[in-house]
Amino acid sequence: MSKIKVSELFYSLQGEGQYVGVPSVFLRTFGCNFTCSGFGMPRGQFSTERNRVDPNAYNDYRDLPLVSTGCDSYASWDPKFKHLSPLMEVSTIVEKIKELLPDGTFGGDKHLIITGGEPLLGWQRSYPELIQACMDIGLTHLTFETNGTQELKDELKEYLNHMATTSGLEVNFSISSKLPCSGEKWEDAIVPDVVKNYLTIKGNRSYFKFVVSTTEDVSDARRAQAEYEAAGIKIPVYLMPVGGVNSVYEMNERQVADYCRDNGLRFSPRIQVPLFKNAWGT
């Protein structure tokens, strides 16, 4: 029986990227290879906001405070908060998914989003069992929200390709490569060979989603796009405004939208921020 360490499991609307607005189950796995402490900070500085959250004061993920700088899902990878992310049997996860879905199935047009943390870091062996059980209750669309640095293991790749070919499962990778504004190093974050491997899944409609706030970030996004294209990767590119809280999000939403319109790139909102205040579980 496979297990996954689960930070959050909830049903909401996809807030970002190609499938914005689609009703979806979100499985947020625990663990990430990055910390992205640079988000929302002046370049070269790192947020310490999450360090001020006392992990012992919380027993429920949904009660955690939001942060306006650094990674907004800090509790999905910071070991201090690991007690809030239980290691769950896949069968238990699937039972909870059934409870979350309005009619107990993925029928109609509901997607499964496996996110993180970094969902391809630690749990790849458990995904075939999970995906199979979800397909048994009607799943047809699956998205991995990844930072694009973790190799897709052969076993999972073969399984996904088999399901895409024999059962028409659509498998997408929403690849949010981290630019220097995240605080991560370019050479660790932009890894074309890893991304190329994701795109071998049959029928995938994967895309890049770069988080930006300044013109420098936008230049970095264009540089990353060029680096990927030089490696033969040509998939849709979305720019998305930084901001886990309304005050930050609203500051640069319009500028990013204008840039996308004027330069022929796709704009991704983050509808969970204005709609749901980006609360945990939304």
Tokens describing residue 84: 């809030």
State the nearest-atom distance from the C-beta of 32 to ligand SF4, in Å: 3
Q: Does residue number 122 form part of the binding site for ligand SF4 (CB under 6 A)?
A: no
Residue 102: φ, ψ to 5°? -50, -40
Nearer to ligand SF4, 31 or 128 (CB): 31
3-state secondary structure of 180: helix
Measured distance CA(2)–CA(157) in Å, rounded: 17
Longest dimension (CA), the chain: 51
Show contacts with ligand SF4 in window 56-95 (CB under 6 A). 71, 73, 77
Near ligand SF4 by CB under 6 A: residue from 32, 84, 139, 191: 32
Residue (14 or 35) nearer to ligand SF4, CB = 35
Contacts to ligand SF4 from residues 210-239, by CB under 6 A: none
Sheet-wide strand order for 207-212:
87-89, 3-13, 23-29, 111-115, 141-146, 170-175, 207-212, 237-241, 266-267
Q: Is residue 248 near ligand SF4 by the rule CB under 6 A?
A: no
Q: Does 260 bind ligand SF4 (CB under 6 A)?
A: no
By CB under 6 A, tell whether 189 contacts ligand SF4: no
Shortest spacing between CB 62 and ligand SF4, in angstroms = 18
Interface with ligand SF4, residue 35, by CB under 6 A: yes
Instruction: Report if residue 36 touches ligand SF4, rule: CB under 6 A.
Output: yes
When asked if residue 117 is in the footprint of ligand SF4 (CB under 6 A), the reply is yes
Figure out which of the listed residues 19, 26, 30, 34 binds ligand SF4, where binding follows CB under 6 A.
34
**Whole-number minimum distance, CB 118 to ligand SF4, in Å?**
5
Strand partners, 8: 28
CA 120, chain centre distance (Å): 10
CA of 135: how far to CAs of 60, 146, 235, in Å?
30, 21, 27
225 token code pair:
């796009």
Provide the binding-site residues for ligand SF4, judged by CB under 6 A. 32, 34-36, 71, 73, 77, 116-118, 147, 178
